[in-house]
Amino acid sequence: MGWKNGVLLAASLIFYAWGEPVYILLMLVSVGFNYICALGIDKGGSDRFLRRIWLVLGIASSLIFLVWFKYAAFLANSFADIFSLSLHMAEKKLPIGISFYTFQVFTYTVDVYRKKAAAQKNPAKLLLYVSCFPQLIAGPIVQYADVARMLDSRPFSAARFSEGARRFAVGLAKKVILANLCGAAISRIDPADPAYLVSTAGAWYAALMYTFQIYFDFSAYSDMAIGLGRLFGFDYKENFNYPYISGSITDFWRRWHISLGSFFRDYVYIPLGGSRCTTRRTILNMMVVWSLTGMWHGASWNFILWGMYYGVLLITERFVIGRERMDKIPYIFRLPVIFVITMLGWVLFYHTDLSLAFRQIGAMFGIGFNIQLIDPLTSAVIRKYSVLPLIAAVASLPVLPALKKHSGQGGFTEALSYAAATVLMVLSAVFLVGQSYNPFIYFRF
């Protein structure tokens, strides 16, 4: 396993350095300092004070770079605006994947402190955990306790390789075919363009296409990361579970970006007291978690508002409506309502300029100055991409698991899956040839 880890580590560092030759030092410093802190926690034994000192140092070293590169300019400029100061701090270039690998380093130190995992004595293995290239750039967020054993021993087989390759093919097709086509439709009627007089139909169509684009874009990367991880013997947990079939907001967040939800639950919500507190304190805990969830996505007020939007919805669903009342509402009625609520959330997420976000939401409901029902540009785009919404909707449903369940596990089914994966790879290659560079949306987080 030693030489295999060495080859994978070298490939991962080269992969990251190819895009960020300078910022690789940032990751190395963060990993190295937390390696020392975790050893300090381990040697602290029963001395809780000493262990906590090392924990705080580790957490601080994990977060200081993230705060400096991602939030310093936003916080300084917001402070200056509030107090009318002539201060402006330029935004810094964000190192690729810093939000993801920072959280992974964070989970390592905390897991050692909680004694969920032993301190890693080999710094190369810790660096491999953080830098492993399949999930380094855009997740899923991997918790150290989940993969600690795999750093020492993991299985390799032809069956695992083929399964991983097929999963990668599905993810690649979701990105370069579905996500990119949805993005192309949005670019024609971009509601973020102040010059575009968005109509009601245009506002709804753009919201729908972005709803599909962000799902296929992000879940595609997760599929490819899980597939590549399987090729190298790692079993990464699922990050998406068909979120657009959710019958409640709570269900949606059990299906969307599962690794992020698990992180905030395990490392923020539960340490704050979780649901074991009074109702008022539980509500406060939920708002803190969802405000931080929004901020994690970016240093902009629209992301914070997006997080708080879901915090309010989840609180309302839990404490005002109640789960029993929600369950009594037929699923066929809940499904479209939750989908529309999710679409409205993605409008907030899409626009860093809140005035444009509210303009689009207003247009969706016919509110605003001189709002048309439909404009010629939107009409032309809808005609050009007429079947895309239907294809995207079907692809976002659990059709493949249903087919797999009913077709069984015979040789014909296996051969068919190989053929389908091959076709997807060929189609993806064809689409890639005709496309300009189009990075994953979550690269910027």
The enclosing H or E element of 423 equals: helix 411-433
Q: How far is CA 104 from CA 163, 174, 423, in A?
A: 26, 26, 35
Q: How far is CA 285 from CA 95, 264, 303, 347, 348, in A?
A: 30, 11, 18, 25, 23
DSSP helix, strand, coil percent of the chain (3-state; round to 5)? 75, 0, 25
- The alpha carbon of 196 is separated from its chain's Cα centroid by a whole number of angstroms, namely 29
Catalytic residue among 88, 297, 351, 406: 297
| Polymer length of the chain | 445
Residue 88 annotated to the active site: no
- Please check whether residue 310 is in contact with residue 253, taking contact to mean a CB–CB distance below 8 angstroms: yes
From 443, 387, 437, select the one nearest 185 (Cα to Cα). 387
- Burial class of residue 325 (count of CB atoms within 10 Å of its CB; 0-12, 13-18, 19+): exposed
- Please check whether residue 351 is in contact with residue 360, taking contact to mean a CB–CB distance below 8 angstroms: yes
As given in the structure block, the two tokens for residue 332 are 């066929």
Indicate the DSSP class of residue 437: -
Residue type, 110: V
Q: Using alpha carbons only, what angle is made at residue 298 by residues 338 and 365, rounded to the nearest 5 degrees?
A: 35
Burial 227-239 (b: 16+ CB within 10 A, else e): bbbbbbbbebeeb
Query: How far is residue 362's CA from residue 356's CA, in Å, rounded to a whole number?
Result: 10
Burial 417-439 (b: 16+ CB within 10 A, else e): beeebeebbeebeebeeeeeeee
Active centre residues (catalytic): 297
